[in-house]
Structure 1
Amino acid sequence: MELKRVVVTGLGALTPLGNTVSAYWEGLVNGISGAAPITHFDASKFKTQFACEVKGFDPHDFMDRKEARKVDPFVQYAIASTDEAVKDAGLEFSKLDTNRIGVIWGSGIGGLKTFLDEVVTFAKGDGTPRFNPFFIPKMLVDIAPGHISMRHGLRGPNFSAVSACASSTNAMIDAFNYIRMGMADIIITGGSEATINEAGIGGFNAMHALSTRNDDPKTASRPFDKDRDGFVSGEGSGAIILESLEHALARGAKIYAEVAGGGMSADAHHITASHPEGLGAKLAMSKAIADANFGYADIDYINVHGTSTPVGDISETKAIIDLFGEHAYKLNISSTKSMTGHLLGAAGAIEAIASILSVKNDIVPPTINHFTDDPDIDNNLNFTFNTAQERVVNAALSNTFGFGGHNASIIVKKYHS
Structure 2
Amino acid sequence: WGDAGFTPNAGADESSAPERLGSVIASGIGGVITLLDQYDVLKEKGVRRVSPHTVPMLMPNGPAANVGLEVNAQAGVHTPVSACASGAEAIGYAVEMIRTGRADVVVAGGTEAAIHPLPIAAFANMMAMSKSNDEPEKASRPYDTGRDGFVLGEGAGVVILESAEHAAARGAKVYCEVLGQGLSADAHHIAQPEPTGRGIAAAMQNLLDSSDLKPSEVVHLNAHATSTPQGDLAEIKALRKVLGDDLDHVAISATKSMTGHLLGGAGGIETVATVLALHHRIAPPTINIDELDEAIDADIVRGEPRVLPEGPIAAINNSFGFGGHNVVLAFRSV
Residue from 246, 256, 261 that aligns with 1:327:
246
Shift of 1:153: 1.9
Tell me what 1:296 maps to.
215
Deviations 1:69-110 (A, max 9, x none): xxxxxxxxxxxxxxxxxxxx2x332x3311110101111001
Matched residue SS, 2:83: coil
Match of 1:92 among 13, 22, 26: 13
Q: Check if 1:337 corresponds to 2:269.
A: no
Secondary structure, in 3 states, of the residue corresponding to 2:70?
helix
Look up the SS of the partner of 1:187 in the other structure.
strand
1: distance between equivalents of 2:198 and 2:178? 24
**Would the aligned equivalents of 2:16 and 2:105 in 1 still touch at CA under 8 Å?**
no
Match of 2:28 in 1: 108
Offset, 1:129: 6.8
Tell me the equivalent position of 1:195.
114
Aligned AA (1:109): I
Please give the TM-score of this superposition, normalised by the length of structure 2.
Answer: 0.96
In the other structure, the counterpart of 2:82 is 163
Cα drift, residue 130 of structure 1: 4.9
Q: Hey, what does 1:236 align to over in structure 2?
A: 155
Contact 1:365 1:388 in 2 (8 A): yes
SS at 1:319 equivalent: helix
- Which of the residues 162, 170, 179 maps onto 1:251? 170
Per-residue deviation, residues 132-185 of structure 1 (Å, max 9, x unmatched) = 222111100111111111122221111101100000100000101111221101
Stretches of structure 1 lacking an aligned partner (at least 5 in a row): 11-88
AA matched with 2:332: K
Cα distance between partner residues in 1 of 2:70 and 2:8: 21
Q: Mapping of 1:377-416 within 5 angstroms?
A: 377-378=296-297, 381-392=298-309, 394-415=313-334
Percent same amino acid at aligned positions? 39
Aligned counterpart, 2:274:
355
Whole-angstrom CA distance in 1 between matches of 2:272 and 2:113: 19
What letter corresponds to residue 414 of structure 1 in structure 2?
Answer: S
Q: Distance in 2 between matches of 1:234 and 1:218?
A: 12
Q: Do the aligned residues in 2 keep the contact of 1:3 with 1:180 (CA within 8 Å)?
A: no
Counterparts of residues 15-34 of structure 1 (less than 5 Å): none
For structure 2, which runs of at least 5 residues remain unmatched after alignment? none
Write the distance in 2 (CA, Å) between the matches of 1:151 and 1:133.
21
Report deviation, 1:237: 0.5
Q: How many residues align?
A: 332
**Alignment partner, residue 191 of structure 2:** 272
Offset at residue 124 of structure 1 (A): 3.3
Spell out, residue by residue over 1:376-410, the C-alpha distance to the aligned partner (whole angstroms, 9 max, x if none).
333xx211111111122710000000000000000
User: What is the SS of the residue equivalent to 1:242?
Assistant: strand
Letter in 1 for 2:273: A
RMSD value, Cα: 1.5
Residue 200 (structure 2) aligns with: 281
Say yes or no: does 1:314 pair with 2:195.
Answer: no
CA deviations on 1:16-64 (whole Å, 9 max, x unpaired) are xxxxxxxxxxxxxxxxxxxxxxxxxxxxxxxxxxxxxxxxxxxxxxxxx
